């Protein structure tokens, strides 16, 4: 299906952004020309997936759609126990409700927002153990999403008996959609298992990670995506997945593991939070569509087409000299806002400022992955400014053409060309105590001087 895109005027966008409290999450979809907020649930399904919708079994318990879905998950990931949930954060909520206790330490390669939120809301601690190579956005290395074995060793050594599991995120979204190598997956899991710590793979973009292993890592060029996927998951103890990304569906997620204790414990929370264990918040028709999507998206041609479009946008930004996290990731381009808006101080959130400027320029809705998303330290309540401050241009699957990529690049170039005129950022007027970026009120600072704030 197709849908019209409505062009708007600068004056309209200024009013809409003001009404949205300068937070693009609060915009209405019809106020957006090209929507790059997320690739989560925003893709287009295939004819095979649509046909599977018609075969959905909506039985409350034991639906054939569940067993169809379960069979695909077992075949791809080789896990015995499978629990569907309505999306990835629900999978985290169900599993973490059983596993995470107050005071626990959970290391990970840059936990994403909901993952960190589910940990910190339970008064546990999420500790980032990503390789330092990820901090240099202009460094060209193939696997910037990797875990630092040295950092992980220190966390495991210093917190013996208090680490219920580690989260291994593939691809690593927070540092720019960067992949994790098979070698690093194996080394990370071996180290954790040495300390008796199981590993949970945050698998939202596992297929894209497998693609990069095939195309970048020695010894995998002749292996299929499905073979690489099986090897990746052979090292870990379980997985949570937002199926709205590499599952190619608009809603869905799941937990899978070979750990029977985890399975029995997660079921205790699935039923009151999500629904019965054979539907877990999903319709039977959506379980069918997800089964087809997982099968489709573990084929090389599908992934190559999708990832090449992201690379095409990266090439356009290269032509304009716009800095981004290099090399280009699988699902998005992450523009280095600190380098683009280098006159905006970090306490005025350069990436959030750039997000607003891009929308005002051309009605393009992107997403801040930086200081706003990083939230406050749960103990000191100070802003966390230690990581990267990125503008994510997230490309929905099978939705836009390369012509849309040209428009995106041109709009960003227009903002980039006047970057020296942008010397002020945004000021947070209101924020939620957890995962503030979704609802924060953060107006642009215009002509007020800094002493007047």
Q: Catalytic residue numbers? A: 60, 112-113, 202, 204, 245, 437
CA dist., res. 84 & res. 66, Å (int): 8
Question: From residue 377, how far is each of 107, 119, 129, 130, 412 by CA, in Å?
Answer: 16, 13, 17, 18, 32
What is the CA angle 243-325-200, rounded to 5? 35
Question: From residue 231, how far is each of 89, 155, 185 by CA, in Å?
Answer: 25, 26, 10
The set of residues, in sequence order, having a beta carbon less than 8 Å from that of 55 and lying 6+ positions away, is 65, 285, 288
Contact status, residue 242 vs residue 87, Cβ threshold 8 Å: yes
Q: Which two tokens stand for residue 446?
A: 């215009």
- HSE (CB half, 13 Å, CA atoms) of 304? 7
Torsion of CA 372, 139, 127, 270, to 10 degrees: 70
Question: From residue 282, how far is each of 107, 109, 241, 247, 249 by CA, in Å?
Answer: 30, 29, 14, 14, 11
- HSE (CB half, 13 Å, CA atoms) of 24? 28
Q: Using alpha carbons, select from 249, 258, 104, 243 the residue that is nearest to residue 167.
A: 104
Q: Which two tokens stand for residue 132?
A: 């330092």
Residue owning tokens 């990746």: 232
CA dist., res. 388 & res. 49, Å (int): 37
CA dist., res. 21 & res. 18, Å (int): 5
Cβ count near 273 (within 10 Å): 16
CA dist., res. 119 & res. 440, Å (int): 21
Query: Which segments of 217-328 does DSSP mark as H helices, in order?
Result: 225-234, 260-273, 284-296, 300-320
User: What distance lies between CA 238 and its chain's CA centroid?
Assistant: 18
Residue 383, Cβ density class (10 Å: 0-12 exposed, 13-18 middle, ≥19 buried): middle
Torsion of CA 397, 401, 402, 405, to 10 degrees: -70
- Residue 376: strand, helix, or coil: strand
């Amino acid at each position: 299906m197709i849908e019209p895109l409505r062009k708007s005027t600068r004056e309209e966008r200024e009013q809409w952004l003001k009404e949205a409290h300068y937070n693009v999450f609060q915009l209405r979809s019809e106020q957006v020309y090209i929507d790059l907020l997320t690739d989560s649930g925003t893709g287009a399904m295939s004819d095979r997936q649509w046909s599977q919708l018609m075969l959905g079994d909506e039985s409350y318990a034991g639906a054939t759609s569940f067993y169809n879905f379960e069979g695909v998950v077992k075949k791809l990931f080789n896990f015995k126990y499978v629990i569907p949930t309505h999306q990835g954060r629900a999978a985290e909520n169900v599993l973490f409700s059983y596993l995470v206790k107050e005071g626990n330490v959970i290391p990970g390669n840059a936990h994403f927002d909901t993952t960190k939120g589910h940990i910190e809301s339970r008064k546990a601690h999420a500790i980032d153990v990503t390789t330092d190579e990820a901090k240099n956005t202009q460094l060209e290395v193939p696997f910037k999403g990797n875990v630092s074995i040295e950092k992980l060793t220190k966390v495991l050594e210093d917190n013996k008996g208090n680490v219920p599991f580690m989260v291994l995120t593939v691809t690593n979204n927070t540092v720019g959609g960067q992949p994790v190598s098979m070698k690093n997956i194996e080394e990370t899991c071996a180290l954790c298992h040495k300390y008796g710590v199981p590993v949970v793979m945050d698998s939202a973009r596992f297929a894209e990670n497998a693609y990069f292993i095939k195309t970048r890592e020695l010894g995998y060029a002749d292996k299929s995506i499905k073979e690489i996927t099986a090897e990746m998951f052979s090292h870990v103890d379980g997985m949570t997945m937002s199926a709205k990304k590499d599952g190619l569906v608009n809603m869905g997620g799941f937990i899978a593991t070979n750990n029977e204790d985890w399975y029995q414990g997660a079921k205790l929370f699935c039923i009151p939070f999500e629904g019965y264990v054979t539907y877990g918040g999903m319709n039977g028709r959506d379980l069918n569509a997800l089964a087809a999507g997982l099968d489709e998206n573990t084929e090389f041609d599908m992934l190559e087409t999708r990832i090449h479009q992201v690379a095409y946008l990266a090439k356009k930004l290269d032509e304009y000299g716009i800095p981004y996290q290099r090399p280009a990731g699988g699902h998005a381009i992450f523009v280095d806002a600190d380098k683009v808006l280098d006159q905006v101080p970090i306490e005025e959130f350069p990436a959030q400022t750039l997000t607003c400027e891009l929308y005002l320029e051309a009605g393009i809705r992107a997403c801040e992955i930086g200081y706003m998303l990083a939230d406050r330290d749960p103990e000191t309540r100070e802003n966390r400014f230690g990581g990267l401050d990125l503008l994510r241009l997230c490309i929905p699957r099978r939705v836009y053409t390369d012509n849309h990529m040209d428009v995106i690049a041109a709009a960003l170039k227009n903002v980039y060309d006047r970057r020296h005129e942008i010397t002020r950022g945004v000021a947070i007027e209101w924020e939620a105590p957890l995962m503030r970026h979704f609802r924060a009120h953060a107006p642009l600072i215009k002509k007020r001087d800094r002493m007047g704030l």
